[in-house]
Every structure is written in C-alpha cells, then in structure tokens.
A = this chain, B = another copy of it.
Amino acid sequence: MTYSTLTNHFNRISHIESALGVLHWDMSTMMPQGGAAGRGDQLATLNGIAHGMRTDERIADWLSAADGEQLDDWQRANLNELNREYANATVLPAQFVEAFSRACTQCETVWRKARGANDFASLAPALNEVVKLVREKAQILSEHHGLSLYDSLLDQYDPGTRSADVDVLFEELEGFLPDLLGQVIERQERAGMVALQGPFSVESQRTLGLKIMEILGFDFEHGRLDVSAHPFCGGSADDVRITTRYSVDDFTQSLMGVIHETGHALYELGLPIQWRGQPVGKARGMSMHESQSLLMEMQACRSREFLQFVTPMLRDSFNGEGEAWTTENLYRLYTRVERGLIRVDADEVSYPLHVILRYRLERALLSGDLQVGDLPGAWRDGMRTLLGVEPPDDRDGCMQDIHWNMGAIGYFPTYTLGAMNAAQLFEAAVRSDAEILPGIAGGDFKPLVAWLRENVHGKASRYSMSELMTRATGRPLEVSVFREHLERRYLG
C-alpha cells in the first residue's frame, strides 16, 4: 500500500523531530554556554534534513495514490493531516522561508536588547520587517487555503479555528470581564489576605513539585522535571520533560507552574501510542494543548477542594504555621486578582483582557490599519480601556512578549480559547463522573485523567477542535461555562 510508504516516511521525520525535542530540552536545561554554536549547527542540519524529507516530491504522488486506497476512519483522518502538513511544508518558497527565519532571528536579538533598554524606537525597524514578511507569508497561505490573511495564520496554530468565531467569543468576554474584574478586586480588598514568609528552599520546592506531579498522574518512567529560565513542556513522545524555575521568596509560582506543565505533559503522554509518529497522533492544536494545562492549573488545582487537600503538605514542606497557612488564606493567595501590566503574571480573570488587546492589535498590524510605529500608543490606549491601567513604559507594555518578534502572529487567541475550553471540559467531566470532584479533594486524580484520556488525549487529531469539544462536552465552545466558573469562584 502506498499509504504505508507514506506513513513510514513520516515516522522517520518524527524520529528527527523527537531528537530535536531532546536537543532543545538539553539546550535549555543542561547545555553549557560554550556549546551554543555547535548546538546551532546540529539543529540547523537536522532541521534542514527534516525539511528536505517533508518537501520530498514523491509525497505528492503518494498522497494522491493513498487517497484511492481503502482506509479506516483514523487512517483517513491521518491522510487529511498528511495533506495539510505537506501543503504547509511546500506552499512557502524555500527562499522565503530562509529570509523569514533570518528576519525573525534578527528581530528576536534586537528585541532582547531593546526591551532591556526600554527603547522601542530601536526595535521598530526590525519588527516592521517581520510584520511585512508575516503579511507576505499570510498572503501565500491565504491564496492556497482560501482563508483570510489572519485566519491563514491562526489556522497554523489552531487548525480549523476562524477569527469570525473568535470575534464573537471575545466580544462576549469583553462585555462582562472589565466589570467583573472591578467587582472581584473590590471584594478581595475587603476580605484581605496574609502574605507567606520565605525563604522557601529550592530542594523543598522540588520535592513538593515531584510529589504533586505524581498525584496528578505524571509517569516518571516516561518523563522528568528540571529547571530552565522559561518553563516549558518538551522532550519527545514517551519521554516528556517539563521544567520550572524556583524563587526562594515564593513557592506558589513554581508549584502552579509545575501543575500547569504537568497538564501539558499528561496530554502528550496520553496521545494514542499506535499513532506515534503520524500527524493524526499529534495534539489537536495550541488551544487544546493550553486547555489541558489550564484545566489542571486553574480548574482543578486552584480550587478550594484541592487547596484543602494540599494545605498540610505545604505546611510540612516549608514548616508553615499560623494564619498565613490556613486553606482559606492559601486559597485567597492562589485566586488573587489584579489589574497587572504583564500577561504572563496575570490571573484567570484579567488574562483574557490581555489577550483581547493583543488579538486586536495583531489583526490591525496584519491588515495595515496599524503601523508598527503607532504600537506603543495603541497599546497604552488598549490597556486603559480593557484593564484600567496604563504601562509606565514600553518594556512592560508592547515589548513584553516575544511572540511578534519571532514572527508569531495569530498565536495569542489560543491562550484564551484554551482557558474557555478548559472550563467547558472540566464542567463536562465533573458532570459525567461523580468520582472526579471527590477525587481531586482527596488527592486522587485518576478519575479526572481517565476522562481526559478517553475524551481528549486519546483522540489526538482525529477530529477538529470544534468536533472534539462537541463530542466531549455536548456542544461547541461557548463563553458561558467559563463565565459561570469565574462568577462562582470569584463572586460566589
């Protein structure tokens, strides 16, 4: 069967991708500085080889021959994904891909320096070049896929998601979130909370993190926990490695960070083994991936039930005593809401507002309605309108994120789609299995993980995100469940 020729070829590509996953992990966790140049060579050569294999001209023939063969549903879905990957790999001319990659590397380097110096003017030319090339890229993709400019980018991160749907969801969010934010903050100020006093030893934090990972169902036969400057979930299938960073002044961030990355890892580890190495066996886009981390972090583990379970462990880990270490106070700390400047530090109430701002701005940048030079002003205006705060400088304003500087336009919405997916999936899970909530309250995540494996992880890319949500929760993504979750947790 030609179909087998095709899948063998893609299996080999996936072996290189897995090797790259380990090399990337190593670069962020283990590699000494002096290894950077050599690692760059290794990555470039392996990426070049993988690219050559992805664009192999025989694939076109294989794809059309396989289309005429007898395939089951999963194989047919895999063939669709193979077509999609081949199109994405070949639609951009090699020369353009190189120029784009160079411009992004260049801009990322400039950005690191400009951000440190709080100097947007020095970033603007490089960013302008990237935006110009992203627009070119979108034009090529758009012609090929028959999508709008923005949708052709969004589709690369979240296959099947369209900005028309995002618009509706985000408008609904914008309709109530700013008000809700104000109410919650007022309420929390009245209630008050007690800060935890450090220092908290890194070794205790690590031991605690490993314990919680085990409780959540992380399989240490197939993964690790390490340290990196920017936490991530990486490695390869069957060997999923998450990272965190520790601050001796504050253990709460690394703890929730570990839980967040464990959510990502459980998705990867739960993907169907028989589809390893094939496109249909991969996770279904960025918003589903984010939903799995946020379901663990926001839905399950910032709940009062889980914090009650974990309170004695926290006290034991850090010799905590007194009113700061009550479940009630820990819950207040873990659900604190603020009008912050920084997206990555934001709580679940204000986070979507940070995303909506970026979504609007990146669409305007792409269409040309907004010039790169006008970004700082537009950012300040947006922050004032949506969050009621204004950044004092561009460092903590429009220069805070790496995404645009590395050419990633169309990525931001997936964070908030993920948060809403998480709420809707969690609600459906709890509804369908009465063991799940008591499990979380007792430190037994098996019922929850079993439901996720059945309804999300094990389905990989068999269905579109929308169909996956409908099959798992009874309906496509809506704002309502997320809204109810926020109102119950923060105003209840």
Contact = CB atoms under 8 A, between A and B. Distances in A.
A19 to B, nearest CB: 4
A18 B38 contact: yes
A46 interface: yes
Interface string A270-311: 000000110000000000000000000000000000000000
Given A39-B239, A45-B12, A239-B39, A221 B34 contact: yes
Interface in A10-42: 11-12, 15-16, 18-19, 22-23, 26, 30-35, 37-39, 41-42
A238 B19 contact: no
Given A30-B30, A30-B224, A49-B49, A239 B35 contact: yes
A350 interface: no
5 contacts: A11-B41, A18-B41, A22-B42, A35-B235, A35-B236
A96 interface: no
A239 B31 contact: yes
A22 B26 contact: yes
Contacts of A39: 239
A423 interface: no
Contacts of A22: 22-23, 26, 42
Contacts of A235: 35
Contacts of A213: none
Interface in A309-361: none
A403 interface: no
Contacts of A44: 15
A447 interface: no
| This chain's copy number in the assembly | 2
Contacts of A45: 12, 15-16, 19
A15 B50 CA distance: 14
Interface of A: 11-12, 15-16, 18-19, 22-23, 26, 30-35, 37-39, 41-42, 44-46, 49, 219-224, 235-239, 276-277
Nearest to A239: B35
A235 B11 CA distance: 26
Contacts of A42: 15-16, 18-19, 22, 236
Contacts of A16: 42, 45-46, 49
Looking at A38, A39, A219, A221, the one whose CB has the most chain B CB atoms below 10 A away is A38
A149 B158 CA distance: 61
A202 to B, nearest CB: 14
A222 B32 CA distance: 6
Given A23-B22, A42-B22, A236-B42, A222 B15 contact: no
A120 to B, nearest CB: 34
Contacts of A237: 38
Contacts of A236: 35, 38, 42
Contacts of A23: 19, 22-23
A239 B224 CA distance: 22
A35 B16 CA distance: 15
A361 B19 CA distance: 40
A295 to B, nearest CB: 24
A45 B53 CA distance: 12
Given A41-B18, A42-B236, A45-B15, A34 B224 contact: no
A277 to B, nearest CB: 8
A33 B222 CA distance: 7
Contacts of A12: 45
A270 to B, nearest CB: 14
Looking at A33, A35, A219, the one whose CB has the most chain B CB atoms below 10 A away is A35
A12 B45 CA distance: 6
Given A26-B26, A32-B220, A34-B222, 4 more contacts: A18-B42, A34-B239, A35-B239, A46-B46
A15 B22 CA distance: 15
Contacts of A221: 32-34
A384 to B, nearest CB: 46
A237 B34 CA distance: 10
